[in-house]
Structure 1
């Protein structure tokens, strides 16, 4: 069965070889370990490794472009890049305007991080990044949503008292909590949101989407996607 899956994926990857050689990969560059800017000023992280590998498999050249999160879909639609690969959760609402691949991170947990474990996360001011599924959840929960443009600002808001807790992907918050020397603690209960993280394309770019989707299928089948997940997130997170 695995051989059949791999064969199908390879055929899909090699189809349409006349496609453009360079693909512009749009990311935020501010959401480690998914994506961030390293000391050399380059895009780095799990999605950099994944995107480069998928481009290699499809005989494409990746060109990386960074953009603010709150304009990431409009900039895709405007043609500033060809792909979004930026820790974007697959949701029905987003799927109405963009075309997603299958997920390359399984559905994961979102978590609340605070200075006090006893914070009532359903009533207190809670920070979240603008335009995320976490912000939508906070708004619906009864808590007071305090929105910020970047992930760093959502965490800083808890430190400086603008919010009592921050709500974000647990994989993003976990290393911050671990390095806080006890300043931060988990609060409330973890929440499962979205259908995993996928790459997003313009609705008209289904052929390009299919190339990357076939690559994700192949990497799931041969175990290399799990290897990347463990490399960047550790071996306790959900895998395929």
Structure 2
């Protein structure tokens, strides 16, 4: 789903955190329904509910930390938190810097939203969040890429006429388009990107990865994970089938 990060990261810490009393979960807090900050100032959304359940099943004490997207991998590697849980797609580029659990959301579509369905998404000005798989894709299409630090800014760029369309996870854009009252519509074709969404872990933390992997697998097996996906993303969301169980 989300995001290609090519930022250079520091060397991973050699000390694992699997034996630590508290595991810190790092998220963006700005990408609903994956993660957002609610009116009480707390991390909320699909990943908050799922992350809390994972920690219960893995018998871990967890606390939540927010971090801006563009530095989320470097700050994992440098030890500011222990897990990335932020709608992050599993990609080969990221896997060279950090490790991933198996996916907790199947690969899903990215989409274009614009003020007109007639926008040529291959030649127009396309807004995307910086350091994402969507930004990387737009840069290779021949369109003019306009990058922003946050997802909200990409949508605002379309509304104020700065960009012709925004390209992002369709799951993120669906409620925005539906609630726009016709101001925003779909343009172009959906695009399949990434290898699903997984938890990012430092490469030195294999024990922690294995605990979280086992918890994800158990949520797939008993249907809890699919139920959460449908709750937060709707009945049409991609869910796990028997052929997907346990895959990374």
Give TM-score, length-normalised by structure 1: 0.92
Give the distance between the partners of 2:157 and 2:21, measured in 1 at CA: 43
2:82 maps to 82
2:128 maps to 128
- 5 Å-filtered alignment, 1:1-240, equals 19-240=19-240
**Post-superposition CA distance 1:115-153 (Å, at most 9, x none):** 010000000000000000000000001100000000000
- Which blocks of at least 5 consecutive residues in structure 2 are unaligned? 1-17, 241-248
Please give the secondary structure, in 2, of the residue aligned with 1:103: strand
Please give the secondary structure, in 1, of the residue aligned with 2:104: coil
**Post-superposition CA distance 1:78-112 (Å, at most 9, x none):** 10000000000000000000100010000000000
- Where has structure 1 moved over 3 Å in runs of 4 or more? none
Q: How many residues align?
A: 223
Give the distance between the partners of 1:156 and 1:62, measured in 2 at CA: 34
TM-superposed CA distance for 1:61, in Å, is: 1.2
- Which blocks of at least 5 consecutive residues in structure 1 are unaligned? 1-17
The structure richer in helix per residue is 1
Give TM-score, length-normalised by structure 2: 0.89
2:243 maps to none
1:4 maps to none
Over the residues paired in the alignment, what is the CA RMSD in angstroms?
0.7
Give the distance between the partners of 2:237 and 2:55, measured in 1 at CA: 25
Please give the secondary structure, in 2, of the residue aligned with 1:147: strand
**Post-superposition CA distance 1:173-217 (Å, at most 9, x none):** 000000000000000000000000000011101110111011111
Please give the secondary structure, in 2, of the residue aligned with 1:81: coil
Give the distance between the partners of 1:98 and 1:159, measured in 2 at CA: 36
8 Å CA contact 1:21, 1:59 repeated in 2 = no
Please give the secondary structure, in 2, of the residue aligned with 1:24: strand
Please give the secondary structure, in 2, of the residue aligned with 1:117: coil
Give the distance between the partners of 2:42 and 2:126, measured in 1 at CA: 32
8 Å CA contact 1:115, 1:165 repeated in 2 = yes
TM-superposed CA distance for 1:19, in Å, is: 2.1
TM-superposed CA distance for 1:233, in Å, is: 0.4
TM-superposed CA distance for 1:23, in Å, is: 0.5
2:4 maps to none
TM-superposed CA distance for 1:20, in Å, is: 1.8
**Post-superposition CA distance 1:152-174 (Å, at most 9, x none):** 00000001111000000000000
